[in-house]
Amino acid sequence: MKSILFTSILLLLIGCGSDRDQYQQEQTEEQTLRSAFEGSFLIGTILNHRQIFGQDQRGQDLAVREFNAVTAENVMKWENIHPEPGVYDFDAADTMIDIAEENGMFVVGHTLVWHSQTPDWVFYDDEGELLSREALLERMKDHIETVVGRYKGRVHGWDVVNEAIVDDGTMRDTYWYRIIGEDFLVKAFEYAHAVDPEAELYYNDYSLEIPSKREGAIRLVEYLQENDAPITGIGTQGHFMLDFPDLEEIEKTITDFAALGIDVMVTELDIDVLPPAFDYMGADVSASAEMREELNPYPDALPDSVQQQLTDRYRDIFEIYLRHSDDITRVTFWGVTDGDSWKNNWPVSGRTNYPLIFDRNWEPKPAYHAIIELAEEHR
């Protein structure tokens, strides 16, 4: 499905191409990810607080050189941008968007409605009682109107609802669902679209490669479509491991969602190289485990053999992405370098992980060169 941005500009008949095409045309003279994947899909990353404000200037410089799409890691989540009733802190988000605009980057707002990293006050009244359906809808509407309204025309796509289902494909029991009901998703999309009709609007979730969860997400998208919710795309997060999920399930996730007539994005890509702390394979930020020596086997450096496994895994996954580049509009890495990654502290705090394609010295890893080579072969 063509994006809202693309469709709206086509209505002009002649003139500029879509906003996405505009960002894909931005190149540097040297080979970069953004130039290598031009014509395939946007290639993105996230910016954290230190990178946004220049404490990690090398990380910021690397991000704007290599990528043409950017998502805020945390600074646009409810607890940071709207920490108290009537109090908004836009400083970090404003700065990030300024950086993006200066460097021709497609901007994704993450995230409007989520059960996690949302303050408790959102769901309670002044007497400490849970809000009514009508009151919580009004609170949601006010938040969306304020945040989306501030960035209308500057944020090009929004993760409207994040992680609303669990692994068996049923709805997650959150305050949003418990108080409002399943149509909280419909309302969230309606509110966002009313404020900025040109913005792309996404549902975003992890572990959609698990068949039961993927089937639940398909039902969810169909429910939204049947209720005329203006969903334009789905983000499958891509928090993978060296041996999970199977490549066939990664590919089926793309094709199954593309068949629904919506854009498909990989929104939070990383590959965990460490031993699993437990059997759970998802990305629930509330999950945790105690540190044990065997769970942190590479505290100083990644062995060459594991580095090769990581390279092979990225190459295999990007072969799939490039094969389906007509359906995929964006692939975003969840971090600039290994040192930035949340995987160093989840689900075990203090580990040394190596899940990305730039190392702790801001240098490209073999996986970087492998996917660049693939992209060039594909063009």
Q: Which residue has the tokens 């049947």?
A: 226
Q: What residue type is assigned to position 133 of the chain?
A: R
Q: What residue type is assigned to position 291 of the chain?
A: M
Q: Please provide residue 67's backbone torsions phi and psi, each rounded to the nearest 5 degrees.
A: -120, 150
Residue tagged active-site, from 66, 73, 163, 200: 163
Q: What residue type is assigned to position 196 of the chain?
A: D
C-beta of residue 13 within 8 angstroms of C-beta of residue 37: no
Active site residue 377: no
C-beta of residue 174 within 8 angstroms of C-beta of residue 120: no
Identify which of 378, 153, 102, 111 has the alpha carbon closest to the alpha carbon of residue 268.
111
How many Å apart are CA 107 and CA 153, to the nearest integer?
A: 10
How many Å apart are CA 157 and CA 106, to the nearest integer?
A: 8
CA atoms within 13 A on the CB side of 4: 16
Identify which of 192, 196, 190, 171 has the alpha carbon closest to the alpha carbon of residue 182.
171
How many Å apart are CA 21 and CA 27, to the nearest integer?
A: 12
How many Å apart are CA 273 and CA 240, to the nearest integer?
A: 9
Token output for 86:
């009537």
Q: Three-state SS for 349?
A: coil
Measure the CA angle with vertex 133, ends 130 and 136; round to 5°.
70
Which distant-in-sequence residues (6+ apart) come within 8 Å of 252 by Cβ? 209, 214
Q: The dihedral of CA 115, 106, 139, 94: what is its sign?
A: positive
**For the stretch 311-325, what's the b/e string if a residue is b when 16 or more beta carbons lie within 10 angstroms of its beta carbon?**
bebbbebbbbbbebe
Active site residue 373: no
Q: The dihedral of CA 313, 318, 323, 329: what is its sign?
A: positive
How many Å apart are CA 66 and CA 276, to the nearest integer?
A: 30
- Residues with active-site annotation: 163, 268
